């Protein structure tokens, strides 16, 4: 894509902007040069932001050494809103380069610094994935679902959902033989009561045992294949544009309930939320709806009508 842009716009400057949602997205940048023909660097922090690469003991890694990426600064969110409670998962205190304590967000990414101070992305931390732009911890979802009294084992993976044409979450579960086996619908409702909307798996499949590799470890690739091919008896209908819009609003607002409200104001929507919602609309539907357009919509049906008019 970079080569195509250079052919079409030979005089243009190409800028990569990035950062986790927990820093209101844009907190790091890189101007793409001719030398960036392979991996495009993550870049350098925007003013007011800092990025640290730390080892497992919280020490700063020297240039060239891979560690976990942490970010701090004015863009940092206050935390996650779980119902009415502010949750600080992965918002921690670290030492900055001067040894002073700062509040930072521990990302799900590993990276390393070049000697010129440019940050390079290396890999994801095991167990963390991104689904529809939201960072998700698979072990945390498994732990929550495992509290259901009728389950013995749970495995949650990300998979390419052929019904939706995007990455989704799916769960394989083994029921406790001593009790009644729960249905997928029951587990889905249980997940909605205890997890953020963005963390609820779209598919639940009952299995006699979790798929294992030859060395006895959980085989996530086989789990993904099962979720892609095996029908779920009580799988929900494919989400409509209305459903997807409501999911975006609930996610941005940190709500875990799924009932469609009469209006967005009752959900706690404020003008400052609209920029993030607009960005997620662009990502989900490939259609640009400005914050001003969204401000005039009272509910998800009116937003869905706007999307239809825009050709989504």
150 Cβ contact partners less than 8 Å away, ≥ 6 residues apart: 175, 176, 179, 180, 181, 182
Q: Could you tell me if residue 2 is inside a domain? A: no
Q: Does 112 share its domain with 134?
A: no
> How confident is the model over 181-228, as pLDDT tens digits?
888 888 988 998 888 877 889 899 999 899 887 767 788 888 988 888
Kindly state the average pLDDT of the residues 105-134.
85
Domain check: are 272 and 290 in the same one?
yes
Mean pLDDT of 58-77: 93
Domain ends where: 177, 200, 229? 229
Sole residue written with tokens 């600064």:
73
- Residue 136 covered by a domain: yes
What residue numbers bound the domain in which 277 lies?
241-309
- pLDDT computed for residue 237 by the predictor: 46
Q: Which has more pLDDT, 214 or 99? A: 99
What's the pLDDT at 239? 57
> Same domain, yes or no, for 116 and 36?
yes
**In the structure, what pLDDT confidence band is assigned to residue 47 with cuts at 50, 70 and 90?**
very high
Per-residue pLDDT, 118: 95
Sheet strands side by side (includes 203-206): 151-161, 166-175, 203-206
Average pLDDT, integer, range 62-81: 91
Q: Report if residue 32 sits inside a domain.
A: yes
In a domain, 202, yes or no: yes
Q: Tell me how many domains the chain contains.
A: 3
**Paired tokens of 184:** 């997928």
For residues 149-177, one letter each, b for 16 or more C-beta atoms within 10 angstroms of the residue's C-beta and e for the rest, the string is eebebbbbbbbebeeeeeebbbbbbbbee
| Residue finishing a domain among 93, 125, 157 | 125
């Amino acid at each position: 894509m970079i080569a195509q842009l250079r052919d079409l716009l030979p005089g243009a400057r190409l800028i990569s902007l990035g950062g986790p949602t927990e820093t209101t997205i844009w907190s790091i940048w890189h101007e793409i040069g001719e030398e960036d023909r392979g991996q495009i660097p993550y870049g350098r922090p925007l003013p007011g932001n800092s990025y640290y690469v730390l080892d497992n003991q919280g020490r700063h890694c020297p240039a060239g050494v891979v560690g976990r990426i942490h970010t701090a600064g004015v863009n940092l969110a206050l935390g996650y809103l779980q119902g009415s409670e502010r949750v600080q998962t992965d918002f921690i205190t670290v030492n900055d380069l001067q040894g002073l304590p700062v509040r930072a967000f521990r990302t799900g990414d590993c990276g390393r610094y070049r000697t010129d101070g440019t940050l390079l992305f290396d890999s994801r931390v095991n167990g963390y994935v991104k689904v529809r732009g939201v960072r998700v911890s698979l072990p945390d979802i498994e732990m929550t679902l495992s509290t259901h009294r009728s389950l013995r084992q749970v495995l949650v993976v990300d998979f390419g959902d052929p019904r939706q044409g995007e990455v989704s979450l799916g769960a394989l579960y083994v029921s406790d033989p001593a009790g009644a086996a729960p249905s997928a619908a029951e587990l889905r409702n249980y997940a909605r009561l205890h997890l953020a909307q963005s963390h609820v798996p779209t598919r639940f499949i009952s299995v006699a045992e979790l798929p294992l590799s030859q060395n006895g470890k959980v085989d996530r690739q086989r789990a993904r294949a099962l979720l892609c091919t095996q029908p779920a008896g009580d799988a929900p209908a494919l989400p409509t544009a209305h459903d997807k819009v409501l999911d975006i609003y609930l996610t941005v607002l940190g709500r875990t309930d799924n009932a469609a409200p009469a209006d967005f104001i009752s959900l706690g929507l404020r003008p400052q939320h609209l920029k993030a919602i607009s960005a997620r609309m662009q990502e989900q539907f490939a259609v640009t709806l400005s914050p001003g357009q969204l401000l005039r919509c009272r509910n998800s049906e009116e937003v869905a009508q706007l999307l239809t008019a825009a050709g989504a």
